[in-house]
Amino acid sequence: MALIKHVVCAMSGGVDSSVAALLLKRRGYNVTGVFMRNWDSLDEKGVCTTEKDCEDAYRVCQSLDVPFHQVSYVKEYWHEVFSNLLKEYERGRTPNPDILCNKHIKFNHFHKYAIDTLGADAMATGHYARTSQEDDEVFEQAHTAPPTTLFRDRFEIRNPVKLYKGADLLKDQTFFLSQIPQQALRQTMFPLAGLTKEFVKKMAAEAGFHHVLKKKESMGICFIGERNFENFILEYLDPKPGNFVSIEDGTVMGTHKGWFTLTLGQRARIGGQRDAWFVVDKDIVTGDVFVAPTTNHPALFRDTVRTERFHWVTEDPPPELARTQMMDCHFRFIHQMPLVACTVTLNMDGSVWILLSQPVRALTPGQVAANVFRTVL
């Protein structure tokens, strides 16, 4: 008789991770639920939502009769995610905290905790995504050492695991998983891979998880929550007032509290202006934020972008790109953004040039350029 496999499920206190744990338990796995504490400060209403989320996750584990643990990565989150966010904002860039959190916390520290400390055979999350592996194959993966060279040897890992979109294309979260390491992906299960959000909610209701069904969908900064961004970021960065300047004629339209409170494409709140103006560029030397009078102003569109060194989930780099230094695929830099056809050119340092088939609005420095070929990231 085969041994029952031990799977550690990341529990957020939300409906998705709750149903993920439910499905694992029904499939006969030995499940342990773990809640991560990554941020403990009060929100703007004086409420620490972490405590409520932890309690909700614990209640689900009680209902499923599975062990429940808590683990704190507050220090790691601050140094590896939030400090980097602040540095990027000061550089005039707009980073993606959810991608950084998955890369550094959930699929690094948490993955190691699940496998090495709790002795799990695999970890699981409530992401809407799937891989090229069957569940049984997840438990057959052997540990491989990280690469010591710029690129992985493509013969080093046999049958690398691919990342695919989940069945619910509206909820697909592969964009947020586009920076996770191959080793963690090989040992991860996505129980919601073939389900829609509506079906997940139905399962939660039938299981009696009414306390998590009542919660609003999480839309804020990863593990911090939904905040007034300007007020929140000014708690950590000193105000650096500057001017809103018209991109068309250089007229000063008003003032702002700091370029890091604004991102390209957003509506600029300019006192005394009845018409809408939109951010099109930032100068962190002068503090000027350039604005345009229309949401689709030509200054907001670009068809070429260069990345920093690219992270390839599956192979490093893909064979076609390694052979010819060019590859056709699809591009997005925002979750749920329609895919745009593009051509990728590989540079010697591992970065890439991306030439888009059509101009894209508000290509924002600091965001992740997710290249999708076929249905694979």
**What amino acid positions are annotated as catalytic residues?**
101, 222
* Exposed/middle/buried for residue 106 (C-beta within 10 Å: 0-12, 13-18, 19+): buried
**Residue carrying structure tokens 């070929």:** 373
Q: Return the H-helix or E-strand segment holding 15.
A: helix 15-26
Q: List, in order, residues 6 or more apart from 25 with CB less than 8 Å away.
A: 31, 64, 66
CB atoms inside a 10 Å sphere around CB 144: 13
Q: Return the H-helix or E-strand segment holding 280.
A: strand 277-282
**Residue carrying structure tokens 């069904």:** 213
Q: For residue 300, what is the DSSP state?
A: G
Distance separating alpha carbons of residues 34 and 128, to the nearest angstrom? 19
Q: Residue 254: which region, alpha, beta or left (left: phi > 0; alpha: psi -120 to 50)?
A: left
Q: List, in order, residues 6 or more apart from 96 with CB less than 8 Å away.
A: 176, 366, 367, 368
Q: For residue 177, what is the DSSP state?
A: G
Distance separating alpha carbons of residues 14 and 345, to the nearest angstrom? 40
* Pairing between β-strand 252-256 and β-strand 370-372 as defined by DSSP bridges: unpaired
Which residue, 105, 168, 123, is CA-closest to 8? 123
Q: Is-cis flag, bond preceding 338, omega within 30?
A: no
**Residue carrying structure tokens 């409906």:** 15
Distance separating alpha carbons of residues 121 and 4, to the nearest angstrom? 10
